[in-house]
Amino acid sequence: MAARWPEAELPLFADGKRVNDPERALQLVATEARGCTRCDLYKHAIQTVFGEGPANASLMLVGEQPGDQEDLAGRPFVGPAGSVLDQALHTAGIDRSQVYVTNAVKHFKTEPRGKRRIHKKPDTSEIDICRWWLDHELEIVQPAIVVALGATAARALTRRPLTINANRGRLIELPGRRQGVITVHPSYLLRLQDERDKRREFDLLVKDLRFAASAAAEARA
């Protein structure tokens, strides 16, 4: 694949080299991330869960962190929340294979409870430290639109706390002259007890994804 920007703008890797091929650059960053010890989360996680998807994707989805199933599989959004996301993408008419999917934090932050590993929300310092990897993904993929799935992703992308409901349904300016869309994390729907609430929130998630996809298509036209 030909580079879509000057080689000097591609990420600098640990060996001091730049790679003038986005696909290869993503592979190298992912490989480097496997040994990440930038914060203490690696001590209790099975593995780093890096993003996946085309290096030229016009749409990037950013979640919070891998969950138990993602930590086991080494892939983002393959657990219950991933199933909700897949359904929402399908309903919105978006092919997941054409979307780059990742998380703000690359290790599963867990709180042991008996034999179970319970999800624990990453704190601000962990989000900020792990931005090293997210920034590399953004620089390589150069998505037209970045979707923040939940408050943690919004914090990672904007560098400040944002309220989801007050900012969804519109384009948000992100650092690096990027544009983003904010919506709920799919796991939010799993926590809802009332079926009508689930249906309403699912429809809103689909609406946000359609809006993001439309904006991305327009930006790349």
7 within domain boundaries = no
Number of domains in the chain: 1
Determine phi and psi for 173, rounding to 5 degrees: -75, 130
Does a structural domain hold residue 156? yes
Assess if residue 6 is contained within a domain: no
Helix (H, G, I), strand (E, B) or coil at 41: helix
Domain-embedded: residue 9: no
Expressed in angstroms, the distance from the first to the final Cα of the chain is 20
**Does some domain include residue 4?**
no
Per the domain annotation, does 204 fall within a domain? yes
- Whether 100 and 137 have beta carbons less than 8 Å apart is answered as yes
- State the CATH number of the domain containing residue 29: 3.40.470.10
User: Is 119 domain-assigned?
Assistant: yes
Single pTM value for the model: 0.91
Give the range of the structural domain holding residue 130, as residue numbers without chain letter: 15-220
Question: Is the C-alpha dihedral spanning 23, 71, 122, 189 positive or negative?
Answer: positive
pLDDT tens per residue across all 221 residues of the chain:
333 433 444 455 545 566 678 898 899 899 999 999 999 999 999 999 999 999 999 999 999 999 999 999 999 999 999 999 999 999 999 999 999 999 999 999 998 777 788 889 999 999 999 999 999 999 999 999 999 999 999 999 999 999 999 999 999 999 989 999 999 999 999 999 999 999 999 999 999 999 999 999 999 88
The closest of 52, 107, 46, 109 to 82, measured between CA atoms, is 52
Q: Nearest to residue 50, comparing CAs of 126, 110, 104?
A: 104
3-state secondary structure of 147: strand
Radius of gyration of the chain (CA): 17
Q: Considering the domain boundaries, does residue 73 fall inside one?
A: yes
